[in-house]
Amino acid sequence: MPFSCYSMPFSGGASARRWGVRPALPMKYCSACHKTYPGDYNVCPADQTALQNAHELQSGMIIRNKYQLLDRIGIGGMGVVYRSRHLTFNEVCAIKIVNDVISGDERFLQRFQAEAVITRKLRHPNAVRVDDFDYTEDGRPFIVMELVEGKNIGEILQIEGPFRVSRAVRIATQAARALGAAHKIGVVHRDIKPANIILTTDEDGKEIAKVLDFGIAKLREVAGSDQPGMTMTGMVVGTPLYMSPEQFMGKKAGGEIDGRTDIYSLGVVLYQMVTAQLPFDGDTPYSLMVQHMQGTVRPPHELAPDLHIPESLSRVVLKAIDKSRDQRFQTAEEFIAALEESGLDRSGLDYGHSAALQSGPAPSAETIKAPTSPQVLTPQVAPGTSASQSSKANLRPATSSVDPPLTPRAESSAASENNMVAASPADSSVVNSAAQHVFIQPRKLRVKQLLTLVALLMTAVLVAGVGYLKYQTLRRMRIESAVTEMLKTSPTLGRTDLRVQVSDTREVILDGKVQSKEDSIAAGNLAGSIQGVTGVINRIEYPPVIPNTDPAGTDAKSPASLISDGTKFLDDGKYAEAIACFSKAAALDPNNKQATELLDHAKQAAKTEQELLKNRPLN
């Protein structure tokens, strides 16, 4: 099962410069028993084995003499997440360990511990449970939490498309219950999005939603609140596609940000679940801010009429994402009640898949009830009518007083059947003749009709071909625009004159001149990170490398410095800058495993952002 739900969020790493490196010694590691010890230990107390320096945590290590790290399942600006096992209870759990840089900030550590204590009080079946808080042997704090195996809503939307309405409402209701429990203890999530809602199964095999990362938003704010000159992206806490208007205005938790912010974000997620589209579209954080604060939302049932979304659910969603928080649901309980009152959460009807098959009201029990006794056919002969004439008379059923009436459909069927039985030989010839004329007699296809049919087929093929060419052209233009924009926003490549072309096979061709080989490699990596790019042909020219005669090296940065800058950009969501820094670090030190891993992570984050923003299909 995937564990993408445990990738560490990008914290406000813009304050990394003031954190520095922890003064603690590197912890020691015993290769025999796999236990870890503080840096001043030289011999393992358990088996007298000489200890080794452990600069990084590795799979198999045992921390605090009770948790064994099994494998790494997530990495981010704040630290690393490991799938682990409690040695005493033999239970698998997830452990989030803060990285070296952040763990040197005392204020952040205090907030980290406080949030862990508060979040542990949140005990709800739809919230990821926090079980423990502790420090590693070298002083890094970590939290132990419930390990949830499953996929998040964003991953399921990419694979399956829009959710069934009943399923989406059930998931939104469960998430709202977790938020309601958090709001009661004073915790506002502030970053509700598809990636933070995981779908798993309970003990009975039923699907259940789990909300994770409660309290992480406050940690982001603490990590970046004191850094001067931060941009709007660093000041606000949340994901722009799902942020409330008050979050875009830079308001903080307390009187300005409360539980109604989470209701707004959950309403956006519910909108996306039932339509597979976002209510607001924008290519930049600024355009998204304008849409969230001033844009008009199209009701879900009008946006996707073929999905048969009930109008009552559209009203609930629109109220949840109202721009004025005073007009939204004031509590999570009100939101849940509105969903239940719409009848969707209780009915369990499979809207969106079976509604199209239900073309009319369900038949009543009286309609489908069969007669209790056979119908007796008696000829209705008028006075003075001969027997021969009576053979052509209409036959009508003689119904007893206790027999229930036939439905219109049953009467029609019975009447047609009776007429066929009562038909005389003379009438049968007429019926057979009519049947041959209507059903048996072949129709002649004229040459003119054949030519018309061929012309229509050729027109259809031509229109399809033109449409495909238009689609390919628009896709190439979109890729070219995305690559150009990313190169322009790069701090090192934005001032260069680079030309971008996209081939029919969606290969990006880069031409131009840059100042160094590292810039050329960074440009290629940036282009390759765009969604839909199949390859990069790098024709960028750069001057030959001239040995640096300046012993001070004032114009050069070390790989460690580049990695530090790249981590800061990665935490701020500036993926182009992060990719450029990690590319240069990897070029300067090809054996630097950290630079390579962070480069791959930044590329994946950039692709994910591109895919989320591309929510409008090509025309």
The answer to whether residues 179 and 330 touch, using CB atoms and an 8 Å cutoff, is no
List beta partners, residue 500: 510
- What's the CA gap between 328 and 226, in Å, rounded? 32
CA-based nearest residue to 520, from 491, 498, 502: 498
Q: Distance between CA atoms of 244 and 388, rounded to whole angstroms?
A: 85
- Provide the phi-psi class of 139: left if phi over 0, else alpha when psi is between -120 and 50, else beta: left
Instruction: Output phi, psi for 292, to 5 deg.
Output: -65, -30
578 in Cβ contact with 491 (< 8 Å): no
**Is the separation of the CB atoms in 27 and 41 below 8 Å?**
no
User: Whose CA is closest to 247, among 190, 189, 192?
Assistant: 190
Nearest to 595 by CA among 579, 607, 608: 579
Pairing of β 67-75 and β 507-513: unpaired
SS3 27: strand
Which two tokens mark 528?
């390759």
Among left, alpha and beta (phi > 0; psi -120 to 50; other), residue 214 is beta
The one catalytic residue in 191, 258, 519, 565 is: 191
Please state, in angstroms and rounded to a whole number, the distance separating the CA atoms of residues 476 and 470: 10
Active site residue 226: no
**Which H/E stretch holds residue 353?**
none
The encoded tokens of residue 487 equal 């190169």
CA-based torsion, 264, 270, 273, 274: positive or negative: negative
SS3 467: helix
- At position 193, the amino acid (one-letter code) is K
Which helix (H) or strand (E) segment is 318 a member of? helix 311-320
**Each residue of 456-484: b (16+ CB within 10 Å) or e?**
eeeeeeeeeeeeeeeeeeeebebbbebbe
Query: Dihedral angle at the C-alpha atoms of 97, 100, 106, 107, nearest 10 degrees?
Result: -70
* Residues whose CB falls within 8 Å of the CB of residue 337, separated by 6 or more in sequence, listed in order: none
Backbone angles phi, psi at 435, to 5 degrees: -65, -40
Q: Please identify every residue annotated as catalytic.
A: 191
